[in-house]
Amino acid sequence: MTRKNIVAAGFLAAGTGLGLLLRSEYEKNCLVTETVAIRSPKVKKRIRLAFLTDLHNKEFGKDNERLIRAIEEARPDAVLIGGDMMVCRGEMGIDVPLRLIGKLAERYPVYYGNGNHENRMEQKREVYGDQYDCYRKSLEEMGVVYLDDKTALIRDDIAVSGADLEKKYYLKRFFHDPGPLENGYLTDRLGEADRERFQILLLHSPLYFKDAAEWGADLTLSGHFHGGTIQIPLLGGLMTPQYQFFLPWCAGTFERNGRYLVVGRGLGTHSINIRLNDKPQIVLAELFPAIREAGK
């Protein structure tokens, strides 16, 4: 290879890298709303639920005005939050999610499930003091239903639970199948799933969908993987925060024996601050009654 070709290749690589960096910066400030429709005989009438996850202190406009406006345009009946609304690493702040959720709670019922960053804030009290308690108390004073290993009713026919995962379940790295949760893990924390109502489970990591389905969740809502950071056509997300490459369920909707998993791409980033072909996302889960067959 000649010196001229080496220089040309260097300029091409630098230009490509700069282009991808600029594209990533553009995408991180985009915001898309995507709808998932699910039918169930347990659902009595249509309901629209906005699902937010992995904000990581991201702001879309001043005080998240663009995000709030996008949610208003979607006209949800309630807002479900799947955790990791802040970045719990080093010095941290909780003002951004509190301002956002405060405004949402003025308009909608809000149900909040923890992610690994909320859990870290609670567990590392020697570092973060009483910030977790202050955060939770502030949300509850706003009227938010805080689901740390708890269940609540959204409506007479719809129950929602939030399960906290222990730290060890976020440390299983490199494996596509990390193995199941400990026997009875979800039942010990939440009790039995509601078999009469449509049961939603906020479970931050999608790696345990099989456990959630076996517990009885009709719909599991997860995040955590940020869509795989870089979405590659036909291959999916490049890498999860647990260093799993091309994991099939980085984002999207999946079904297992009539039970569903929806994995949101999330809204923000942290540590690896890149998004390519992976725009921040609001998920709208629309639940419908099952279509009756003719003659029934």
pLDDT mean by block of 10 residues, the chain; 296 residues: 63 59 80 97 97 97 97 98 92 91 98 96 89 95 97 98 93 72 95 96 96 97 92 84 82 95 95 87 97 56
Asked if residue 106 and residue 44 are part of one domain, the reply reads yes
Rg of the chain over Cα atoms, rounded to whole angstroms, equals 20
Asked if residue 122 and residue 100 are part of one domain, the reply reads yes
Hey, what are 227's tokens? 């869509």
Task: Return the pLDDT at 161.
Answer: 98
- Residue 241 domain flag: yes
Task: Give CA–CA dist 52/96, Å, rounded.
Answer: 14
Single-letter amino acid, residue 288? F
Asked if residue 82 and residue 3 are part of one domain, the reply reads no
Give the count of domains, the chain.
Answer: 2
Q: What is the chain's percent helix, strand, coil content, to nearest 5?
A: 30, 25, 45
Asked if residue 78 and residue 58 are part of one domain, the reply reads yes
Contacts with 154 (C-beta within 8 Å, 6 or more apart), sequence order: 47, 49, 77, 78, 109, 111, 160, 200
Asked if residue 55 and residue 19 are part of one domain, the reply reads no
Contacts with 76 (C-beta within 8 Å, 6 or more apart), sequence order: 48, 49, 50, 108, 284
- Residue 82 domain flag: yes
E strands present in 75-141: 78-81, 110-112
The pTM assigned to this predicted structure is 0.93
Task: Return the pLDDT at 78.
Answer: 98
Task: Return the pLDDT at 292.
Answer: 64
Q: For residue 257, give its domain range.
A: 32-289
Q: Is 72 helix (H, G, I), strand (E, B) or coil?
A: helix
- What are φ and ψ of residue 122, in 5° steps? -70, -40
